[in-house]
Structure 1
Amino acid sequence: MLIPFNKMPDYARIWVYQANKNLSEAEVNYIQQNLENQVNQWAAHGADLMGAVQILHNRFVLVAVDEMHNQASGCSIDASTRWLKDLGAEMNIDFFNRSIAFVDNDQIQTVEMLKIKPLVAEGILTPDTLIFNNLVPNIGEFKNAWQVSAINSWMKRYFQTATI
Structure 2
Amino acid sequence: MYVAFDQLPPEARVWIYQASRPLSGTEIVGMMPGLARFAEEWTSHGRTLLASGEFLHQQFLVIGLDEGVAGASGCSIDASVRFVAQLEQHLGVELLEKSRMAFLQAGTVQLLKRGELKEAVAAGTVGPDTFYFDNTLGTKGELDTHWPRPASETWLARYFGQEEKNGLLT
Q: Give the TM-score normalised by structure 1.
A: 0.94
Which consecutive unaligned segments of at least 5 residues does structure 2 have?
163-170
Match of 1:57 in 2: 57
Number of residue pairs aligned between Structure 1 and Structure 2: 161
Instruction: Give 1:56 deviation, angstroms.
Output: 0.8
> 1: distance between equivalents of 2:30 and 2:118?
37
Instruction: Give 1:90 deviation, angstroms.
Output: 2.4
Instruction: Encode CA deviations 1:44-75: one digit per residue, 9 max, x unaligned.
Output: 11110000111111111110111111111110
Give 3-state SS (helix, strand or coil) of 2:97's partner: coil
Instruction: Give 1:20 deviation, angstroms.
Output: 0.4
> 2: distance between equivalents of 1:106 and 1:26?
20
> 2: distance between equivalents of 1:41 and 1:71?
15
> 1: distance between equivalents of 2:91 and 2:148?
27
Give 3-state SS (helix, strand or coil) of 2:87's partner: helix
Give aligned-pair identity as a percent: 33
Give 3-state SS (helix, strand or coil) of 1:22's partner: coil
Match of 1:13 in 2: 13
Which consecutive unaligned segments of at least 5 residues does structure 1 have?
none
Instruction: Encode CA deviations 1:86-141: one digit per residue, 9 max, x unaligned.
Output: 11022211002321110112211000000000000000000000010111101111
Match of 2:78 in 1: 78
Match of 1:96 in 2: 96
CA RMSD of aligned residues (A): 1.1
The runs of at least 4 aligned residues of structure 1 exceeding 2 Å deviation read: none
